[in-house]
Structures are given as structure tokens and as C-alpha cells.
Amino acid sequence: MNHDCLWVLDEVQLMDVGLATSGQLQAFRVAREHNSRMLRPCRSWWMSATLQRTWLEKSPEMRPLAAELHQSAIPVKDRAGRLWDDVDKPLRLQPVTDTGAIAKLAAQAHIENEGNRQGPTLIVLNTVDAAIELRKNLQKDKRLVGVDVRLLHSRFRPHERAAWREAFLNRNACAPGTNRIIIATQVIEAGVDISAGLLLTELAPWPSMVQRFGRAARWGGSAQLIVLDRQPKDDRAAAPYTKEEVDAARQALDYLSNGSPLALEAFEEQHADLLPSLYPYNPKHLLLSHELDDLFDTTPDLSGADIDISRFIRAGEERDLQVFWQELEADTMPGRRLRPAREALCSVPFLKAQDWLCGKGQRVKQGVRAWVWDWLDGTWRAAERRDLFPGQTVLVDAKSGGYDVSFGWDSASREPVPPVAPAVPTKEELGDAAEDDEQLSAYAWQTIAFHGAQVGGEAARLGDRLCPELRTLFHLAGRWHDAGKAHDAFQNSIRRSEFARRDLAKAPDGSWLSPKQLYPDGRGGRRAGFRHELASTLGLFAVLIRHAPNHAALLGPWGEVLGAAAAGTPETSHSPPNQLEREVIALSAEDFDLLAYLVCSHHGKVRAAWHTSPADQEAADNAVRIRGVREGDTLPSVLLATENGRFEALPECALTLAPAAIGLSDTTGRSWTDRVLGLLERHSSFQLAFLEALLRVADQRASSRPDVDPLLHDPQHSDGHIWEGKRS
């Protein structure tokens, strides 16, 4: 998404610190593009009726670019005709004390406006709690019998929101004479095409006021605007805004008696000295270059310690997690295939969610059942307070309550929640959602060699079109990517009812052991957390160790440094390398590192760092073990495709985890971490992620093709003879 994309960021006044992040990201892309570390460009547009160039200048790297950005606006001479001359929005400022006072004022204004109603009455408040309280108050008002009172805010599920557009958020539902009151929060400020005949809005920062005014007389005509001023005495009373922002907006209203577009444009042009206070922007967090590179390494996230990026998206404590409700039998755990549909997810502030589900304790309250997904075990597990953080997805038993279809998320509600039908997860989603899962290998029978040839062909085609200089390397990466599946831990995971062979890359759904049984080592134990792509990568190192220990990608540059320490280097092979091995030996050090990285990262589960997983640590093996691969493991001989379309046997080899160590190894030279840092320096995180994604795309495309593997029925294949096949 950082290559060959156009980002359109609309209504940026609502983006909070995310606006600064978007500017920083674009500046990082441009800098890498200028340094030839981007294969394809990426551009950004920022859009808003209240957009200020100074907002983007708050991003340090973006500041020079912001000064040169082209800005589209409507010239003064063109501000005439429809939606300019035919709009009248008289406004007045009305002091209020509390939500009860707002309810009385709103009911009276709605009734008085009955004969001149040019659309619904819209009431915009600054907090969800106040909006909910107002609806309850209006529902009790006997003067409003027969009035359709609606509520919308950010704590509703998309399932309920979808019905709003059909029911009352469209032009037909806003015709003159509409006897409806819509109570809303900031969600009404963007993406809603309605036109109110009467607008009551709580005083808010100026950008919000302009957006709210735009929801009245939106298609021409007239509307009455009433600005409700609680006159907050401090920031706490002004929350979620600051007192300074609200005071600045109040000062601006002293100059205005009309909220029409012409009046607003004229005011801002005549009082430019007020703009800095009306449009302040001081993001609390800025995404810096070194933080971007740190975020490239997802290892902590894959180990169960989720990376929190919310500070780069939204400021304050009101950061959200997502909740969905499902009906579950008592004393039963949710199934591992249960996934929420997007329409079922409700945003809830994480601090409030902690109190709702756990009270004052660390575990879920009695009578409440909630779960979070455990990536390491590939199952739902009981939630605790520590699991309820921004960005988390929480499953709650529908009988535990917490949601009302008319009011949204409600911690006090004890009524069962009507569930939304769960999503049907794809193979990719299931494969990505757990450490031990082979959904992405569950296809029709295919050998490692044939599947590799297919992926190599797809990767080469992508390389031809997107990065021709890397076509050959992509082809080689595709042919090598699954070599590690020859490892016994992988092959032992397949029930061979049809093919008694040890070189399978794909097998149908019913041919796999259950997730809890995957990766048996053949000696009564398991290699839990086994990653075949790590074994594939170590196989590449094994080729150089066997035939070219002084290769530039291994010990070549470090011979004098290592000196006597390298005396323990394994003896080189006395047999000459075959075509398959020569392709690897012919690579430069830089190309070898990129090849190894692409092979290692093609599932996204082993990438920038090699660390023991919790499963490795629990195994307590005497030997070093990383991602299920042990120091000294043997990778059996396996056929792989060569560049010229033949299949040759990669000889059996011993795997060493030496690259995982810090510093120089007397066997493999630089560490894996040093190699990845070098790749990031040469390619940038954006470009490296793009290349990584291309190989994964090639793998997915090849896996979904219905081609029949001719090697499955080739009698010569079992004894390792070369198969004269066509190039994929």
C-alpha cells in the first residue's frame, strides 16, 4: 500500500494525530523515491472544507513538501449561483446548563419549527453519553408523541448503521415536513448527506462547527442554527475538546449571524488573524523514521505481545477495541473457526471495556463470558483485563449483554444481544490467525518441486511487470520457497492415504493432522511452532557452506577477521555442485541476502528477526531450537525446479541456526539481523515489504491453480532422477 497507490484522505479534520502520520508517511515515501529505494511511486491527497496547509507543516519531514503542495479551492469569483446565493442559515448562541436543559430547548424548538420545517431537526452533541441521555429525555417528553427520534454515534455496530441510510440518512427521508429528530455526535460531520431544517449543535472547535453547519440547508434554502454553549470552566468540562478550542469558536461566533457558506468564507478571509486559534493543530505523537523501521519488525506481535500503533492514529485515552457478540452454549468454548463479520464489530473505549467486563478485578466478572484470540494456540481463550487494549478484538457471549440496537454499546444493558452472522474465514485468514496451522497447504496433492516451479513462474511474471531487474531472483525464490517442507516435522503432519512419499507441499483438507498434533518429530515429540520457510532459508545457507564457504555472502569478507576462529568450518563438499546449487552460488552477497529474506518471509511469520517462540522455550530441548527447527536438523534430499525447467535433487544437508546469533559466525558470517538491516538500508522498509508481498501473491496464485502435478505419477521421481519438464 506504499507502492503504486493513491491515498485519498477525506475529512482530515477528524483524523487527529493520524493526519500527521499520513504526512510523515508520504514524506518518507518521497524521500525513498528520490533515493531510488521505491520501485513505484505513491501519492496522497488531503481533503476537507476546513483544510489548513499549516496542519501538514506540523509533520517535520512533511514541512518542506507541504509548502509546495497544490491546493484546490473555489475562487471568489465562482462563489455564486446554487448553494451560494440561495442559502440562508441565521444562527444564535444559546447558553445551556446541562443535557436536561438541552432536551427542553430542543423539544420546544422542534415544535415551533413545525410549520416551516425544511427537513428533520438535527441535534449534535460532543459525547456519546450526552447523546444517549438526550434521547432518553426526549422519549419521555409527551409533547413529542409521534415524533421519530433517532440516535447515531460511534458505538453502534455497522450492522445497525447500514439500516440508517435506508431509514433516515438520505435525501428522500429529509423532505420538507419531516417530523423527525436526529441526535448525533461527531460521526455526523463526515460522510452523511442529509439536510436539516433546524440544527442545534453543542459548541465545539471551529472545524467541527463548520462541518456541522454544513449539515443544515445542505441542498439550498434556509435553516435555523442554534449553538448550545455549556460554557465549560476547564478542559475536563470541555472534553473531549479543550477549553481553549471551545473559547476560540465562541469568539468567532461573535462576528457571525449566519452560517451560510458565503458568510463563513467571508469571515475567515476578513479575520485571517483568528485562523491560528481557530485551526490549531498540535499532534501529540509524530511517527519518526526510526520508529517506522522498528515497526517493520513484527516479531513481538507474532510472539503474542501485540504492537500498539494507536498513538500514531488517535490521541487521548479514548482509544478503542472491537467487540462482537455471539450466542454460545453454556460451558462451551467458541470454535477456532469463529470469526466476526465486519458488520458485527462495535467500537468500545478500551478503558471502559475493562471496567464493563472485569469491574475492579483482573478477570472477567461473574455472569460475563468473554474471549480473545490466542495466536500461539490458535484458539479463543478467556479474556482478562490485561488482554483488553486498543486494537484488540473481543468475543462476548450474547447472553452477557452490553449492547442495545437502539442505543448502541451500553455497559448497563443486561438484555441478550442479537448476534450478527459470523464471517466464513478464508484459508489465508485461518492460516494467518495461528502459529500452528496448515490451511495454506490444504489444496490438491502437489509435490514441493512442482509447486515451487508454479510459484517461480508466477513470481517471474510479476517481476517482469513490476521489477524486471529482479525477475531472475524472484524466479529462484519461488522455486526454493517451500524446500523446507521436506523436513520430517512437516512431512509427518500429512496422512498419506493416497501417496506414500516424503516430498509433498500440498495435501487436501482431510489429509492433515489436527493443529494440536501438527509437526510430530517421529520420536514421540512435536516441533510445535515449526516454520518450513525458516528451514528453506537455512537450506540456502547450507548450499554455500557445502560448496563455497568463502562466498561473499558467508566468510569471504571476514576471513582475516575470523582467522583461526574459522578453523572449525565444516569441510567443503568433494562432489561438484549441481545446476540447482550453482544458481545459488552465482549470486552476489546482496542478492543472496534478498533471496534468503524473500524465502524466509513469504508467510509473514518469520521475517526480520529469528527468536525462539514460546513453544520452543516450553520444549526445553538441549539443542538450540528456533521456530521448531533445531540446530543440526537434517533436511532430506528433495527435488526442486531449476532455471531451465528441469528438476534436480537438492542433496541432504545439515541445518545450522548460526545466523540467529549476534555478531559474526565462523560458519555463516554476518547475523540474520545484520543482513536484514542491510536490506532495509538498500531497499527501505516500503520496498522490502512490497517485494515480500509479491512473492506471497505468487504463492497464493499458484496454490489456487487447478493444475495436476505430473510428478505425482512419475515412477522415476521416487529414486531422484531428473524429470524433463516444461518451464512453468
Single-letter code of the amino acid located at 70? H
Q: In this predicted structure, which of 213-227, 246-260, 386-400, 486-500 has the lowest mean pLDDT?
A: 486-500
Residue 403 CA to residue 407 CA, distance in Å, equals: 8
Cell numbers of 346, please?
462495535
425 band by pLDDT with thresholds 50, 70 and 90 = confident
* Residue 115: φ, ψ to 5°: -75, -15
524 band by pLDDT with thresholds 50, 70 and 90 = confident
pLDDT of the residue at 484: 98
Q: Can you say how many angstroms the Cα of residue 610 is from the centroid of all Cα atoms in its chain? A: 23
Residue 453 CA to residue 286 CA, distance in Å, equals: 45
Q: How many residues does the chain have?
A: 728
- 336-349: string of b/e by CB count within 10 Å (b at 16+)? bebbbbeebbbbbb
721 band by pLDDT with thresholds 50, 70 and 90 = very low
Strongest mean pLDDT among 49-53, 433-437, 632-636, 721-725: 632-636
Residue 385 CA to residue 374 CA, distance in Å, equals: 15
716 band by pLDDT with thresholds 50, 70 and 90 = low
Cβ–Cβ < 8 Å for 293, 685: yes
**For the chain, what percent of residues have pLDDT higher than 70?**
95
Sign of the CA dihedral with 104 first, then 105, 110, and 115 last: positive
pLDDT of the residue at 728: 34
Cell numbers of 599, please?
524465502
List C-alpha distances in Å: 471 to 76, 511, 680. 53, 35, 20
pLDDT of the residue at 634: 96
Tracing cell 462476548 back to the chain, one arrives at: 396
pLDDT of the residue at 82: 83
The SS3 call for residue 477 is helix
Is it the case that residue 617 has pLDDT exceeding 90?
no
Cβ–Cβ < 8 Å for 126, 183: no
Comparing CA positions, the residue from 697, 509, 469 lying closest to residue 601 is: 697
β-pair partners for 724:
646
List C-alpha distances in Å: 323 to 153, 368, 386, 392, 503. 16, 14, 16, 8, 43
List C-alpha distances in Å: 573 to 490, 548, 549, 577. 27, 9, 10, 8
Contacts of 108 (CB under 8 A, 6+ apart): none
Q: What residue ranges in 493-561 does DSSP mark as E strands?
A: 504-506
The SS3 call for residue 706 is coil
Q: What is the pLDDT of residues 527-572, one digit of tens each?
A: 999 999 999 999 999 999 999 999 999 999 887 777 644 544 455 5
Decide: pTM greater than 0.85: yes
Provide the mean pLDDT of the chain: 90
β-pair partners for 381:
372
Q: Which long-range contacts (CB under 8 A, 24 or more apart) does 514-518 make?
A: 515/336, 515/378, 515/434, 515/436, 515/437, 516/436, 517/493, 518/436, 518/437, 518/438, 518/493
Residue 454 CA to residue 475 CA, distance in Å, equals: 10
How large is the average pLDDT for residues 145-155? 94
724 band by pLDDT with thresholds 50, 70 and 90 = very low
Residue 237 CA to residue 634 CA, distance in Å, equals: 67
Which of the two residues, 320 and 432, has the higher pLDDT score? Answer: 320
Residue 306 CA to residue 188 CA, distance in Å, equals: 32
How large is the average pLDDT for residues 52-62? 89
Cβ–Cβ < 8 Å for 32, 686: yes
Q: What is the pLDDT of residues 172-221, one digit of tens each?
A: 888 888 899 999 999 999 888 899 999 999 999 999 999 999 999 998 89
Residue 499 CA to residue 445 CA, distance in Å, equals: 9
β-pair partners for 634:
654
β-pair partners for 124:
184, 201
List C-alpha distances in Å: 170 to 164, 294, 312. 9, 45, 34
Single-letter code of the amino acid located at 581? E
Contacts of 468 (CB under 8 A, 6+ apart): none
Q: What is the largest CA-CA distance in the chain?
A: 99
390 band by pLDDT with thresholds 50, 70 and 90 = confident
Strongest mean pLDDT among 302-311, 477-486, 522-531, 571-580: 477-486
How large is the average pLDDT for residues 57-64? 89
Is it the case that residue 718 has pLDDT exceeding 50?
no
3-state secondary structure 176-226: CCCCEEEEECHHHHCCCCCCECEEEEECCCHHHHHHHHCCECCCCEECEEE
pLDDT of the residue at 568: 45
Strongest mean pLDDT among 523-532, 706-715, 716-725: 523-532
How large is the average pLDDT for residues 675-685? 94
CATH number of 79-278: 3.40.50.300
Give residue limits of the domains in the chain. 1-73+284-309, 79-278, 317-424, 433-717
Comparing CA positions, the residue from 641, 519, 660, 636 lying closest to residue 578 is: 641
